[in-house]
Amino acid sequence: MTPLLEVDDLHVSFATPRGAVRAVQGVSLSLEQGTTLGIVGESGSGKTVLSRAIMGLLPRHSATQTGSVRYQGNEILNAPNDELRQLWGTHIAMVFQDPMTSLNPVLRIGRQITETLRIHLDLTKSEAKETALSLLMQVGIPSPVERFNAYPGQLSGGMRQRVMIAIALACAPNLLMADEPTTGLDVTVQAQILDLLSTLQHERQMAMILVTHDLGVVATRADEIIVMYAGNVVERAPTNVLFTQMSMPYTEALLGSMPRISYPSHTRLLSIDGRPPDLLSPPAGCPFAPRCPYAQGKCHREKPTLVEGAVPGHSYACWFPLPIREKAATS
Amino acid sequence: MGRYIAKRVVLLIIIIFFVSVASFFLVHLLPGNPVDTILGPNATPANTLIVNHELGLDKPLWEQYFIWISHVFQGNLGQSYTTHQTTSNIIGQSFPIDVELIIGSQLLAFAVAFPMAMSASRRPNGLFDQVANSTTFGMLALPPFVIAPVLVLLFAVHWHVFPGPASYVPLTQNLWTNLHAILLPSIVLAMGSIVVYFRLLRNDLIATLQEDFITMARSKGLTDRRIMWRHALRPSSVSLLASAGVTIGSLIAGTFVVELLLQMPGLGYQLIFSVNQDDYTVVQGITLVVAVAIVLINFLFDFLFTVVDPRIARE
Ligand SMILES: Nc1ncnc2c1ncn2[C@@H]1O[C@H](COP(=O)(O)OP(=O)(O)OP(=O)(O)O)[C@@H](O)[C@H]1O
Ligand code: SF4
Ligand SMILES: [Mg+2]
């Protein structure tokens, strides 16, 4: 059976006045119907660019994309907009990262939901309104009838995020791309929204790509996790394997910077020292080398490629992965 | 929304009061004396005193203001010392010309600027955008008082595509002749607005089309056409609307260049004529009407802003 989504060696670069920004450098992944893939990485690691490239939403004039993206076996990378429009909203939908800027500020909430229902599902005005109200209810918006006529500016961030989920789910897509659906929300709202997504996903047998910078978010919700660093996949594994066999120092560092529920909200997280490399001229060796506590000479010279780990489905890009280092330490 | 409007209405009444005071007193600062105009060669000191008394000009200024404003409320704006036409009559004949020129020129400007800006913003720096930009940039260098005589000479005098000077007749008299006469001055006046409206809308559209909510609209599978009309246009038209408000206000009694060229007695034309004659009752009347009209237009645009962008009413 062909997977729902297959991405092969996807590269994305942006033409900028200072040169080409290589935001995604050879990402491959695949996703089955009904499963969840977590994509984790620091800010700027290319998560948003990757998910938009998969959907075909990047601006054509500035973004160059190579490789392959197949949806239900059909190649969609660089497909014409008219073709992609057949998928957008109905097959693949996206929850955007920033609820404050992703809803149209001059249109009422209701309109923004019913619009797709009327166009894609051919519902009448009153049918669409009924469906929209029930969607608003499903995503946990209190008094949906009043919210239906509200403008985005009259709702809190959490409410707007729920509205975006309602919009994305309106036409029952097969694949939901959730790009950090909980950034900027407080911890309880975060958990509510993530649980809501999981519930709806199971009800609808929907596949989901859950993008986040927080390993904790995907720990309990994803079937498989991909760790991204500076446009590269540096480690990937089924979720339980990743947490038991973590091999790449960057993944370890990410885990160290994970927010804990026990912290009062808004405490500054322990972040990883140093900054990610410049995507205009990526270093020759391992992109993480300048910040890696285990880096050695080879790391600065040669770029490690993804290699299979001991457990099937686990791969990592590192010359000195954790298990080997541990062995070296004990012997 | 209701509160926003109520606040504006109170403000409107206060502003109109000040405007009426200003129209009255500023006109009194004008040089020249109406009594001299009325009496002409008969201006002996004794006659001057008599006429001054008849006109109430010997009363204190504030009393004169209250007499004037109470007449205004009864619909009486006085009459001309020279032609003895009532001021309301003069305004009644000339105001429609301004209204027609404003509506005509603005409709034309919108009809050209909107499609142009929408096409240009689809591909910023594309061929169409570059042509449109350089054309409008060139037009910036040609103010109306330069274009107007040239176009009038070419199209009305030489080629007779449009009727020549003094061919304006009121709308009620002959619709076709009226529209024909109004077209050329409307085109002349529209040119300045097209440049400004195109540039404002193009820039705002380009900025809006890069917003997250537009990418979001695309991800919903909407057509480009729908995204442009439903999602991008309204949030991009606020500066255009602001500019249209100012332009329309400035065109009331501000179209005298074309009025003079085409001998169409609009408000501006009448105002200048009356100032030259020291006909200050008429000057006062026209000033008041123009000022009130501008205030009302601003009020209307304040309301339009909230229709176009509901965020404004909440601020
Ligand atoms: N249109 C663009 N032009 C040039 N560079 C871009 C563009 N879009 C993104 N980038 C660059 O690509 C890199 C990856 O950005 P991306 O938004 O995908 O990061 P992210 O992982 O989603 O981070 P965050 O957690 O902050 O959302 C960044 O360095 C960014 O500056
Ligand atoms: S390759 Fe070297 S620098 Fe890169 S993560 Fe592994 S140990 Fe660190
Ligand atoms: Mg992002």
Distance separating alpha carbons of residues A49 and A25, to the nearest angstrom: 11
Distance separating alpha carbons of residues B145 and A206, to the nearest angstrom: 66
Q: Are strands A175-179 and A224-229 parallel, antiparallel or unpaired?
A: unpaired
Structure tokens at B205: 């559209």
For A:148-177, CB contacts with B below 8 A are 151, 153-154, 164, 167
Any B CB within 8 A of A90 CB: yes
Chain B residue at shortest CA distance from A92: B219
C-beta separation of A144 from A164 below 8 A: no
Edge-to-edge strand order for the sheet containing A5-16?
A19-31, A5-16, A63-71, A74-75
Residue B103 lies in a domain: yes
pLDDT at A258: 58
pLDDT at B315: 65
Ligand 2 pocket, Cβ-based, cut-off 6 angstroms: A 248-250, 286, 288-289, 292, 294-295, 299, 304, 318-320
**Contact residues, chain B, for A101 at CB < 8 Å:** 211-213
- Chain A nearest-CA distance from B123, in A, is 9
Rounded to the nearest angstrom, the distance between the alpha carbon of A14 and the centre of ligand 2 is 27
The answer on pLDDT for B269 being more than 70 is yes
User: Which pLDDT tens digit goes with each residue over A162-173?
Assistant: 999 999 999 999
Intervals of chain A under pLDDT 70: 184, 257-271, 323-331
Residue A178's H or E segment, with its range, is strand A175-179
Residue A300 lies in a domain: no
Distance separating alpha carbons of residues A149 and A305, to the nearest angstrom: 52
Handedness of CA B73, B289, B26, B76 (dihedral sign): negative
Chain A residue at shortest CA distance from B231: A104
Distance separating alpha carbons of residues B190 and B164, to the nearest angstrom: 19
Closest CA to A197 of A214, A182, A216, A219: A182
Give me the helices (H) in chain A, please.
47-55, 81-85, 109-120, 125-138, 144-148, 157-169, 187-204, 215-219, 239-245, 249-256, 297-301, 322-330
A102–B213: do the CB atoms touch at under 8 Å?
yes
Q: Given its phi and psi angles, is residue A184 left (phi above 0), alpha (psi -120 to 50 degrees) or beta?
A: left
ipTM of the complex: 0.89
pLDDT at A327: 55
pLDDT at A24: 96
Any B CB within 8 A of A127 CB: no
Q: To the nearest whole number, what is the mean pLDDT of chain B?
A: 88
The parent domain of residue B103 ranges over 87-314
For residue B267, what is the domain's CATH number?
Answer: 1.10.3720.10
For residue A117, what is the domain's CATH number?
Answer: 3.40.50.300
Give me the helices (H) in chain B, please.
2-29, 34-39, 45-54, 61-73, 87-122, 127-140, 144-151, 175-209, 212-219, 224-226, 233-236, 238-251, 256-261, 267-276, 280-308, 311-314
Residue B194 lies in a domain: yes
Chain A residue at shortest CA distance from B123: A61
DSSP, res A155: S
| CB neighbour burial string for A112-148, b if at least 16 within 10 angstroms, e if fewer | bbbbbbbbbeebeeeebbebbbebbebbbbeebeebb
C-beta separation of A256 from A232 below 8 A: no
Distance separating alpha carbons of residues A13 and B48, to the nearest angstrom: 87
User: For A153, which of B212, B231, B311 is closest by C-beta distance?
Assistant: B311
User: Which pLDDT tens digit goes with each residue over B151-189?
Assistant: 888 888 888 888 878 788 888 888 888 888 899 999 999
Largest CA distance in chain B: 86
Which band of pLDDT confidence, cut at 50, 70 and 90, is reported for residue B36? Answer: confident
Residue A310 lies in a domain: no
Residue B71 lies in a domain: no
Closest CA to A321 of B235, A306, B15: A306
The structural domain count of chain A equals 1
Structure tokens at A110: 């209701």
C-beta separation of A105 from B235 below 8 A: yes
- Residues of chain B that touch chain A, judged by Cβ-Cβ distance less than 8 Å: 211-213, 215-224, 226, 230-231, 234-235, 308-311, 314
- Chain A nearest-CA distance from B1, in A, is 13
Higher-scoring residue by pLDDT: A73, B145: A73
The parent domain of residue A85 ranges over 5-259+269-285+315-330
Structure tokens at B214: 């537009």
Structure tokens at B53: 């008394």
End-to-end CA distance of chain A: 46
Chain A residue at shortest CA distance from B306: A106
User: For A101, which of B213, B310, B311 is closest by C-beta distance?
Assistant: B213
C-beta separation of A82 from A89 below 8 A: no
Q: How many CB atoms lie within 10 A of CB A97?
A: 21
pLDDT at A76: 97
The CA–CA distances, whole Å, from A24 to A93, A277, A318, B173 equal 21, 13, 18, 71
User: Which pLDDT tens digit goes with each residue over B90-101?
Assistant: 999 999 999 999
Which of A48, A94, A106, A183 should one mutate to test binding to chain B, selecting the residue with the greatest count of B CBs within 10 A?
A106
C-beta separation of A38 from A16 below 8 A: no
C-beta separation of B141 from B228 below 8 A: no
**pTM higher than the cut 0.80:** yes
A116-A118-A121-A125 Cα dihedral, nearest 10 degrees? 140
Distance separating alpha carbons of residues A221 and A37, to the nearest angstrom: 9
Protein residues near ligand 3, an ion, with CB under 5 A: A 48, 97
Residue B109 lies in a domain: yes
Per-residue pLDDT, averaged over B216-236, amounts to: 96
The structural domain count of chain B equals 1
User: For B220, which of A86, A89, A154 is closest by C-beta distance?
Assistant: A89
End-to-end CA distance of chain B: 10
